[in-house]
Each structure stands twice: as C-alpha cells, then as structure tokens.
C-alpha cells in the first residue's frame, strides 16, 4: 500500500512541478462500479456482476488544448455476486449458497486524454492501472437456513492487480477555478490475482465498469491560466 501511495504522490508532484507551463487541477471522483470476475469457468457460470461504490482524490494536468494526463487514487471493491454450489473437502455437495465476493484494492490509473470542444469538452481516455490488495472477504449464505460460511484474508492471492482502462466522458468549466466532470470507465484486469487453485481453476481476473462524477479545483495563481487554455 505504501508503494501505491508513493506512486500517487509522485505523479501529483510531477503535475505540480509542470504547472508553470500550464495549470494543474486537484479534485475528487466518486460513483458506482459494476464489478465482475472472469478467467475461472466455475465463477463465470454461476456468478454475475455486483454493484459497488468507488471514489478517491484525483489530479488532472492538460498538456495542450487537446491532450491531458490524469490520475487518481481509488479505494474500490472488486469481485462478483450470485448463487453458486459449494463442496466440502471430499467433494461432497453442501448445497447452493448466496455468494458475495469482495476483493478490496487501492488502485491508481494513469490515463491519457484526448479532448474536443471548448467550455464543455468531451474526452476519450486510455491507459494502465495498478492496484494493491488490501483485504479479501467472501461470504456464502444458504437462502433457507441462513447458515453462513465466511472466508477472509489474502492468503492464496497475489498482492497486485493490473490492467488497462478505456474511458469516455465530459468536462464542464463552471468558471476559471471549478470544473465538473462525468466519465464512464471500463477496467480490464490483465493480471491473474490468485496464486493457488480456487474452485478448480488457477486463474481469476477482475473486471469493472465505473460511472464517475468529478469535482476539480484550480488553486491560487494557477487559476488564471485556465481561461486561456479554454479559449
């Protein structure tokens, strides 16, 4: 987790160090995330997308009238939900359970924006993301008896996740200091997150579709540079 925080602070400082050539905006993003898992045939058969919340601080740095770089620090829950069968150690069926799979990550994307428009700008974005696993909790509850099996801990999981992000959205400059944004992102996990067989497979990958609202503020003397960039 310290490495992820260090990476976010490093990217923020790099943006600020370049602010004399342009302007940098600091803000926050928050929204809803529809998460799922793939790469494990058993999970793909029985589990479906689950709805989670996501949010965190963000930094935005325009390189020109049409290009920008942005990053953010998200605390997000990945995983899936649904109804699935469970088996004991001898392979005997225990029955069907309501499953809620939560893999909680601290993630950082680094996205490159192509922008078009003036005061109301559209943007298309792409870039990589990395994440560190903070904790894991999987809960399985029988629908009738409410008998619950809970599994916690990060044993059997790799500490890192990573992949590619593709996004599209809008940014509206309220004034020279305040900008509002809306963005939809698709996060494809490309790193296997399990280090030992789980449910008959040695691979699980994350998937998340996020819809985000953002608020950005341009501090101090940097605000005067916003108007020139928008014109």
**Domain-wise residue ranges, the chain:** 2-230
Q: What pLDDT, on the 0 to 100 scale, is given for residue 219?
A: 83
State pTM to two decimals: 0.84
pLDDT at residue 113 tops 70: yes
Q: What pLDDT, on the 0 to 100 scale, is given for residue 221?
A: 57
| pLDDT-derived band at 20, boundaries 50, 70, 90 | very low
Q: What pLDDT, on the 0 to 100 scale, is given for residue 4?
A: 47
Query: Which CATH number is associated with domain 2-230?
Result: 2.40.160.20
CA distances from 79 to 71, 121, 143, 180, 208 (A): 23, 33, 20, 29, 9
d(CA 166, CA 140): 33
| pLDDT-derived band at 224, boundaries 50, 70, 90 | low
Q: What pLDDT, on the 0 to 100 scale, is given for residue 11?
A: 46
Span 160-181, average pLDDT: 94
Query: Over the stretch 59-110, which tens digit does the pLDDT of each residue have?
Result: 999 888 899 999 999 999 999 999 999 888 787 888 999 999 999 999 999 9
Q: What pLDDT, on the 0 to 100 scale, is given for residue 16?
A: 45
- Whether the Cβ atoms of residue 117 and residue 132 lie closer than 8 Å to each other: no
Q: What pLDDT, on the 0 to 100 scale, is given for residue 19?
A: 43
pLDDT at residue 5 tops 60: no
């Amino acid at each position: 987790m310290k490495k992820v925080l260090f990476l976010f602070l490093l990217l923020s400082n790099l943006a600020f160090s370049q602010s004399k050539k342009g302007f940098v905006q600091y803000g926050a993003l928050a929204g809803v995330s529809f998460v799922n898992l793939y790469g494990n045939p058993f999970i793909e058969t029985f589990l479906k997308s689950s709805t989670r919340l996501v949010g965190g601080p963000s930094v935005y740095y325009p390189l020109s009238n049409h290009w920008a770089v942005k990053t953010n620090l998200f605390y997000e829950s990945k995983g899936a939900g649904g109804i699935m069968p469970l088996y004991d150690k001898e392979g005997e069926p225990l029955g069907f359970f309501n499953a809620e799979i939560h893999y909680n990550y601290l993630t950082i994307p680094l996205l490159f924006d192509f922008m078009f428009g003036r005061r109301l700008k559209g943007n298309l974005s792409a870039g990589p993301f990395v994440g560190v696993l903070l904790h894991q909790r999987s809960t399985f509850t029988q629908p009738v008896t409410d008998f619950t099996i809970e599994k916690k801990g990060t044993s059997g999981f790799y500490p890192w996740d990573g992949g590619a992000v593709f996004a599209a959205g809008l940014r509206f400059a309220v004034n020279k200091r305040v900008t509002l944004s809306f963005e939809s992102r698709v996060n494809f996990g490309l790193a296997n997150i399990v280090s030992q067989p789980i449910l008959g497979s040695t691979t699980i990958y994350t998937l998340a579709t996020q819809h985000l609202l953002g608020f950005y503020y341009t501090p101090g003397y940097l605000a005067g540079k916003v108007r020139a960039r928008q014109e």
